[in-house]
Amino acid sequence: MNDRKRIVRTDDAPVPAGHYSQAVRVGHHIYVSGSGPFDPKSHAIVAEGIKEQTCRTLDNIAAILKAEACSLENVVKVTVFLKNMNDFKGMDAAYREYFKNDPPARTTVQAELYGKGRLIVIDAIAYVP
């Protein structure tokens, strides 16, 4: 496996809003940048509710990982940024649907988020055996 840094890019996930990559792969690790609840085609926020936004965000991360023949099953660490910690239960319920067994390590924090109507941002680290 090549340990050099390689940029990961897919049209199946939203393009970054700033000067950063969707993900970077180094060896057996993929570092996925903070992803949000944006439709990959329209770049619009998908819905107002935390559950729907969590699902769209995790779908975007899954699409980025798929570009490297990887999946959410390979995720070992996640950081969830919530605009409002009152959304924790709704986020966690949706999150459980994506990580049913052996969930990755996770940190959840409240943060000021860029983008009107955005309730969540998630970044992830995956290990590819």
Architecture of domain 5-127 in this structure: 2-Layer Sandwich (3.30)
Q: Which token pair is 6? A: 């390689």
- State the maximum Cα–Cα separation within the chain, in Å, rounded to a whole number: 43
Hey, what amino acid is at 4?
R
Which residues are registered as beta bridge partners of 32? 23, 124
The pLDDT assigned to 114 comes to 84
Q: Which token pair is 124? A: 């992830």
The pLDDT assigned to 2 comes to 65
pLDDT at 3 over 90: no
Write down the mean pLDDT value for the chain.
95
What confidence tier does 52 reach under pLDDT thresholds 50, 70, 90?
very high
What confidence tier does 1 reach under pLDDT thresholds 50, 70, 90?
low
List the one residue out of 116, 108, 127, 99 whose CA is nearest residue 29. 127
Separation of alpha carbons 59 and 51, rounded Å:
12
